Amino acid sequence: MANPELTTPPLRRGYDPTGLLAHYRRECHRFFRLWRQTLFPPVLTATLYILVFGKSLGSQIREVDGFPYIQYIFPGLLIMGVINNAYANVATSLYVARTELFIQDLLTSPLSYFEMVLAYIGGSVTRGLTVAMMTAVVGFLLTGTLPAHPFLFLITIFCVALLFASLGTIAALWATSWDNVNMFVHFIITPLTFLGGVFYSINMLPEPFRTASQFNPIFYVINAVRYSILGKSDVSYGLAMALLAPLAFAGFAFCVHLFRIGYRIQS
């Protein structure tokens, strides 16, 4: 007589998110525990920009597109914090995991590659959203600015954080030194951000600089956020999101692909 334990198929269990949530909590714990280094500085930086540039230049530049200068620059200052923190969180965590070799523990866990990337990038998106909310509160207190379209604001910030967290993941896998990790920030992201219209409208620029600005991808990021907060921007919100959202989700999918093929995961 056949052993029923050998002939009866095992019961199919539902999806267990324990591993994913544990990894996600670890990524969030990293920056919440070190909030003086991760959350406070970007908010302080935005505050100083508002006070220094908004107050000093605001007395010379009365209005931009019908808004007081201090309000006009606020969306760009907010998104600078989101970009830098979403990128830095995963870039630092994943690069350290590679170089210290404890990523091997993660690779031998029952997590899928999708779950690994989701936890890493999810932690970075959470940090970006946290910085955005804290900066929004400071902006309201200093400028009286509230998002004109709160739902669009959240969607836009999420897509921005997702995009730059994906770029941070790619950089952490590609990098062979800390200089490589920081190179993207210092030589690509920061220059493009400052040239993307944080402190000005492209309508204030002469040609050919006005046209050249429209080839800057971060220009559309800044204007999508500006529309969600002020209700007005240099380009349509639909066009900006048509570029931003597909790039964000494509970046995430590409990160999953890099994990699946094992691209430089182990140093």
Whether residue 3 is contained in a domain is answered as no
Tell whether 209 is covered by a domain.
yes
Q: DSSP state, 203?
A: G
Q: Residue 5 falls within a domain, yes or no?
A: no
Q: How far apart are CA 231 and CA 248, in angstroms?
A: 23
The mean pLDDT value for 203-227 works out to 93
pLDDT 10s digits, 189-210? 999 999 999 988 998 888 898 9
pLDDT at 265: 85
List, in order, residues 6 or more apart from 201 with CB less than 8 Å away. Answer: 64, 65, 72, 234
* For the chain, percent of residues with pLDDT exceeding 70: 94
Confidence of residue 12 (pLDDT cuts 50, 70, 90): very low
**Residue 26 domain-assigned (yes or no):** no
The total domain count for the chain is 1
pLDDT of residue 153: 97
| 4 within a domain of the structure (yes/no) | no
Better-scored residue on pLDDT, 123 or 50: 123
**Assigned domain for 87 exists:** yes
- Residue 244 covered by a domain: yes
The pLDDT value given to residue 58 = 62
Structural domain contains residue 168: yes
Sequence-ordered list of residues with C-beta below 8 angstroms from that of 142, at least 6 positions apart, any chain: 47, 50, 51, 54, 70
Structure tokens at 264: 């430089």
Which H or E run includes 64? strand 63-64
Domain that holds residue 155: 32-261
> Per-residue pLDDT tens for 134-175?
999 999 998 888 999 999 999 999 999 999 999 999 999 999
